[in-house]
C-alpha cells in the first residue's frame, strides 16, 4: 500500500507493507536513524517520536496508522546549526553515557516542555517514566531537562 507521512515538516510517500512499523519506516525507508530501535516491546522508549505532537513509541505504531499524520524525530531538533535547549541541556548536565536512550529522551523532553515550560522534578520524572536508561540512573537526565526548561526561550522547536 502507498502511504504519505509528514516527517519533520516534509511529506514522504512510500510503498509499504501494512505490517511495516513506524520505527522501521523512519530508519530504513527514510534513513532517519536518529530514532533508535531498542527493545521492540514498548518498554524501553528508545524509539520515541512525536506523533501529532505527542510522544509515542514508534515500535508499536504501524506506519500505516501514521499515514496522514505529522511525525517529528530527533533530527528535527537542531535547526540551522543551533541545538534545541534540550540537546544543549543533555550536554551541559551530562545527561547521557552510552547515548542509546538519548533520542527518545530528547523527544519526550521536548514534548513535555512544549506543553509545560516549567515542569517540577516530579513532572519530569513522570514524563520519562516510560523510558529506560541503563547508564545514568536518570539523575543527570532530569537535571538536563531542568536546565533546558531554565534556558528555553520563547521558541518551541519541534512543536
Interatomic CA distance for residues 119 and 112, integer angstroms: 8
CA angle (38 as vertex; 35, 42 as ends), nearest 5:
100
Within residues 46-65, the interface with other proteins by CB under 8 A covers 48, 51, 54-57, 60-62, 64-65
Give the three-class secondary structure for 154: coil
When asked if residue 70 is in the footprint of other proteins (CB under 8 A), the reply is no
Residue 62 vs 83, nearer CB to other proteins = 62
If one asks whether residue 148 binds other proteins (CB under 8 A), the answer comes out as no
Of the pair 55, 95, the CB lying nearest other proteins is at 55
* Contacting residues for 144 by C-beta, under 8 A, at least 6 apart: 86, 89, 90, 92, 93, 94, 95, 109
CB of 37 to other proteins, least distance (A): 8
Binding other proteins (rule: CB under 8 A), the pick from 35, 87, 131, 152 is 131
Candidate segments 7-15, 18-26, 86-94, 150-158, binder of other proteins by CB under 8 A: 18-26
Among 42, 82, 116, 118, binds other proteins (CB under 8 A): 42
- Residue indicated by cell numbers 507521512: 5
**DSSP state letter for 77:** T
Q: DSSP letters of 43-73?
A: SS-TTEEEETTEEEEGGGSBHHHHTTSEEE-
Contacting positions for other proteins (CB under 8 A): 1, 17-19, 21, 24, 37, 40-42, 45, 48, 51, 54-57, 60-62, 64-65, 67, 108, 126-127, 129-131
Amino acid at each position: 500500500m502507498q502511504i504519505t507521512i509528514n516527517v519533520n515538516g516534509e511529506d514522504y510517500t512510500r510503498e509499504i507493507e501494512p505490517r511495516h512499523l513506524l520505527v522501521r519506516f523512519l530508519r530504513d525507508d527514510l534513513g532517519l536513524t536518529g530514532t533508535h530501535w531498542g527493545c521492540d516491546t514498548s518498554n524501553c522508549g528508545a524509539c520515541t517520536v512525536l506523533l501529532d505532537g505527542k510522544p509515542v513509541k514508534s515500535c508499536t505504531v504501524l506506519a500505516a496508522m501514521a499515514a496522514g499524520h505529522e511525525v517529528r524525530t530527533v533530527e528535527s531538533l537542531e535547526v540551522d546549526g543551533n541545538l534545541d535547549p534540550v540537546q544543549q541541556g543533555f550536554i551541559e548536565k551530562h545527561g547521557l553515557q552510552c547515548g542509546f536512550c538519548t533520542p527518545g529522551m530528547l523527544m519526550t523532553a521536548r514534548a513535555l516542555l512544549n506543553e509545560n515550560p516549567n515542569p517540577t522534578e516530579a513532572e519530569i520524572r513522570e514524563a520519562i517514566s516510560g523510558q529506560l536508561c541503563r547508564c545514568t540512573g536518570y539523575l543527570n537526565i532530569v537535571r538536563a531537562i531542568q536546565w533546558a526548561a531554565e534556558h528555553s526561550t520563547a521558541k518551541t522547536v519541534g512543536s
